Amino acid sequence: MIEIIPSRIPVLIIGGGQAGLSVSWYLTREGIEHVVLERHRRFESWRNNRWDSFCLVTPNWQCRLPGWTYRGEDPGGFMLKDEIVDYLDGFAESFNPPLKEGVDVTRVVSREGGGYLIETTAGHWIADQVVIATGGYDNPIVPSCATDLDPTIVQMHSRDYRRPSQLPEGATLIVGTGQSGVQIMDDFHLEGRSVHLAVGPAPRSPRKYRGRDATDWLYDAGTYAVTIDRHPDTLKALTQTNHYMSGRDGGKEIDLRKYALEGVRLYGSVDGGAGTKMTFLPDLEKNLDDADRSYLGIRTQIDAWIAAQAIQAPEEPPFEKVWRPEREVTEVDLVAAGITSIIWAIGFRPDYSWLEVDCLDERGKPKYRRGVTEAPGLYFIGLGWLNTWGSGRFLGIDEDSRYLSEQIVARQKRAVAA
What are the pLDDT digits (tens) for 164-193? 999 999 999 999 999 999 999 999 999 999
Q: What is the pLDDT of residues 337-369, one digit of tens each?
A: 999 999 999 999 999 999 999 999 999 999 999
**What is the residue-averaged pLDDT of the chain?**
96
Long-range contacts of 412-418 (CB under 8 A, 24+ apart): 412/10, 412/11, 412/32, 412/128, 412/129, 415/128
Task: Read off the pLDDT of residues 136-151 as tens digits, 9 standing for 90 and up.
Answer: 888 999 999 999 999 9
Same fold, 7-138+350-417 and 141-344: yes
- pLDDT of 3 > 60? The answer is no
Q: Torsion angle, CA of 72/77/82/86, rounded to 10 degrees? A: 30
Half-sphere CA count of 330, side-chain side, radius 13 A: 6
CB of 411 closer than 8 Å to CB of 129: yes
Q: Which CATH architecture is the domain 141-344 placed in?
A: 3-Layer(bba) Sandwich (3.50)
CATH 3.50.50.60 assigned to 7-138+350-417? yes
Q: Is the pLDDT of residue 2 over 70?
A: no
**CB-CB contact of 24 with 13 (8 Å):** yes
| pLDDT over threshold 50, residue 319 | yes
- List residues bridging with 126 in a β-sheet: 8, 117
Inform me whether the pLDDT recorded for 1 exceeds 50. no
3-state secondary structure 244-308: ECECHHHCECCCHHHHHHCCCEEECCEEEEEECEEEECCCHHHHHHHHHHHHHHHHHHHHHHHHH
Q: What is the mean pLDDT of residues 106-124?
A: 96
- Amino acid type, 58: T
Cα–Cα dist 13/61, whole Å: 27
Q: What is the pLDDT of residue 220?
A: 97
pLDDT band at 11 (very low <50, low <70, confident <90, very high): very high
- Helix axes of 81-93 and 18-30: crossing angle, nearest 10 degrees: 20
Annotate 66-98 with b (16+ C-beta within 10 A) or e (fewer): bebbbeeeeeebbbbbebbbebbeebbeeeebe
Cβ(145)–Cβ(407) under 8 Å?
Answer: no
Task: Give pairs for 185-188: CB < 8 Å, separation 24+.
Answer: 185/259, 185/264, 186/246, 186/248, 186/254, 186/259, 187/51, 187/53, 187/163, 188/164
CA distance 92 to 22: 9
Q: What is the predicted pLDDT for the residue at 213?
A: 98
Delimit the domains of the chain by residue range.
7-138+350-417, 141-344
